[in-house]
Amino acid sequence: MTGSDATIKPAFVLDLAQAQAIVDRFAPRSRVVSLEELHGGAISRVYGVACTDESSPDLVIKTYPELLHWKLAKEVFLYRYLAGNKHLPVPRVLWHDDSRTIVPLAVLVLTRLDGQILQPLEASLSDDDLFGLYAQMGRTLRHFHDVRMAAFGYLVGGGVKDPHASNDAYMLFQFDKKLREFRQCGGSEALAARMARHVAAGAHLLKASALPVFCHDDFHTGNVLVRHEAGARWQLTGVVDVENAVAGDPLLDIAKTLLYSVGESLPKRNGLLAGYGPIDRPQWQAAVDLYRMYHALEWWDWTASIGGTPPDWLIGEMERVTAVDIR
C-alpha cells in the first residue's frame, strides 16, 4: 500500500550538541559520538544516538510537533504501563521533557531496541520468511490484547479519555465523528451516506467485544523491528510507537494490520492469523471488514485535514466494504 507525502513532522532538526545536552540530563558521564535520523512516520522526528559509555545503551530521541506535544505524556504513560510484560518487546523510557528549554519541542528518550524496521525489507523476503515474521507479529499482537483496560476509548497520559462503557458506544461515536470529518474535508456525500448505512447495518457486530483491551492501533511493519539470526531465520525484536493506542476491540487492531501491511499477500495474512491464534467470535471477518473501512476513513480524514492528498485506494477500500451487504 502506498500513502501520501503529507506530514506535520517538525521542521526543527536535532544536532549533536543538542543531543549531548539532552543526554547530560540523565546520563552526564555519557558522551554522544553519533546522531542519525531514523525511519519515522509523518508526525515525529526520531533519532538514533550512540554514546561512548558502555554502561549506557544506545538511545532513541523522539521529538513531537508543537500541535501534538501532548502525545509525549501518552507515550511515557503507555510504555511504562506495558513495561512489566515480558512478552511485549517495547522500549524503556529513560527521560522525557516538555519544558522546551533544551530544544523547542517536547522530547522523549528511549532505549534503542535491536533490529531494523521490517517495512523496507519485505520486498526482499521469501514467502516463508514473511509467513514466519507475520506469525510472530500475530503472537505479539495477541500479547498486547492480553492487557486489559478499564473502559473503551482513546488512550492518553493517565488512561482512557472520555471513556465508553461498551465497544459499540465507542465505535459508533467514532464512526459518526469520522464521517462528519469526511464530509467537512470534501469527501463524497454519496459515499458518506453509504458508509453511514453500512455502519448502521453492522452495528450488531460491534457489540461482540465485551472487554476493552490494549490496542496498539498502528501495528504495521513501519513500527516493527526485526533481526536476521543464524540459520537464515528472522526474529521480531521490537515494537515501537504507541502514539495512536486505544482501549478497544482486538479486531480493531487486526483490521489495521491487514489494511496497512498485509494487503493481498496470503503468506502475510496466513502468518498473522496463525500466529494470533483462534478468534472465537461469530462473524469476526465481517467485523474486521467494518473496521477496515473505519481505518481507511480515518486515514483519508487525517491526510486531508493536514493538506495532503489521500491515496486513491482508500476510497476504493471504503467502496469495497460498502458493496457487501452485512447480515
Residue 1 has pLDDT above 60, yes or no: no
Band of residue 10 on the pLDDT scale cut at 50, 70, 90: confident
Band of residue 326 on the pLDDT scale cut at 50, 70, 90: confident
How far, CA to CA in Å, does 266 sit from each of 217, 255, 261? 22, 15, 12
Task: Return the closest-CA partner of residue 118 out of 230, 263, 224, 271.
Answer: 224
pLDDT in tens, 20-48: 999 999 999 899 999 999 976 678 899 99
> What burial class does residue 254 get, using C-beta atoms within 10 Å of its C-beta: 0-12 exposed, 13-18 middle, 19+ buried?
buried
Give the separation between CA 315 and CA 291, rounded to whole angstroms: 14
pLDDT in tens, 81-100: 999 899 999 999 999 999 99
Give SS3 for 242.
coil
Amino acid sitting at position 254 = I
pLDDT in tens, 196-249: 999 999 999 999 988 999 999 999 999 999 999 887 799 999 999 999 999 999
State the helix-helix crossing angle for 167-184 and 284-305, rounded to 10 degrees.
Answer: 40
Domains of the chain as residue ranges with CATH: 16-111 (3.30.200.20), 116-322 (3.90.1200.10)
Place of cell 492469523: 273
Q: Which residues of 308-317 are buried (b: 16+ CB within 10 A; e: fewer)?
A: bebbeebbeb
Residue 317 has pLDDT above 90, yes or no: yes
pLDDT in tens, 284-310: 999 999 999 999 999 999 999 999 999
**DSSP, res 212:** -
